[in-house]
Amino acid sequence: MKQIDLSLYAITDENLIKPENLAEAVEQAISGGATVIQYRAKNKNSRQMYQEATVIKKVCDKYGIPLIVNDRVDIAIAVNADGVHVGQEDLDVEVVRRIIGFDRILGLSTKNLEQVKKANSLPVDYIGFGSIFPTTTKENAKVSGIETLKEVIKLSIQPVVAIGGINHKNVIEVLETGCKNVAVVSAIFGSDDIYSATKKLKAVIEKGR
């Protein structure tokens, strides 16, 4: 499977970033230390998604940072993204893998130990796990907590990216479980100074990892 640094995984949010600020926001996140960008949009048409993903891809390419597209395999292929991330309500990873081949990264969201266990035998490159803490980004996200994350780290044969309500204050708790990768949305894109917010988070991760 493809090598990828998942340690500071930044996910875009259409409610936090205005379309006209997307390139700048992603550039700040990357400059601050984001190691991978995920483009996620749930309320845009295909044309808008393609345009936005194209903009982000250009920034990612400039810095040699991989771009992963959430859910939409067609958009990922259309902009030549480095990978696709799917959730439990998206296409099956076997189906996605058949379409994208083995040159692109494939990630899967998991929410409980059963899904983590199942993912051990699926053709994925990493799993997301969460929500670790309560979050405002995803409504009704089930909180799994640090104790469950410890079990996930033991159970999973895939790299694990912790997600959900993680910020520079609580990220140390995540890293103490042995988890080496964190995904953030509002902790950086909800900040007025995305660069500094990312840099602050990055510093804690590099120290605690």
Beta carbons of 137 and 186 less than 8 angstroms apart: yes
Query: What single letter denotes the amino acid at residue 201?
Result: L
Please identify which residue in 57, 72, 199, 202 interacts with a second copy, judged by CB under 8 A.
72
72 is in an annotated binding site: no
CB of 109 to a second copy, least distance (A): 12
Select from 102, 106, 124, 103 the least CA-distant residue to 115: 124
CB of 161 to a second copy, least distance (A): 20
- Contact status: 86 vs a second copy (CB under 8 A): yes
Residues facing 128 on adjacent strands: 109, 161
Beta carbons of 27 and 198 less than 8 angstroms apart: no
Which of 7, 109, 144, 156 is labelled catalytic? 109
Query: What single letter denotes the amino acid at residue 161?
Result: V
Query: What single letter denotes the amino acid at residue 28?
Result: Q
What is the H or E stretch that residue 128 is in?
A: strand 126-130
What is the H or E stretch that residue 181 is in?
A: strand 181-184
Footprint of Ni ion (CB under 5 A): 27
Beta carbons of 86 and 71 less than 8 angstroms apart: yes
40 catalytically annotated = yes
Please identify which residue in 13, 71, 82, 125 interacts with a second copy, judged by CB under 8 A.
71
Binding mask 29-68 for a second copy (x = CB under 8 A): ----------------xxxx-x------------------
Which of 44, 58, 117, 138 is labelled catalytic? 138
Closer by beta carbon to Ni ion, 54 or else 115: 54
- Separation CA 9–CA 71 (nearest Å): 16
- Contact status: 91 vs a second copy (CB under 8 A): yes
Tokens linked to 187: 């902790």
7 catalytically annotated = no
Catalytic positions are 40, 109, 138
Annotated binding site for Mg(2+): 71, 90
What residues are designated binding site?
A: 38-42, 70-71, 90, 109, 135-138, 165, 185-186
Residues at the site binding a second copy, with contacts judged by CB under 8 A: 45-48, 50, 71-75, 77-78, 86, 88-92, 95, 98-99
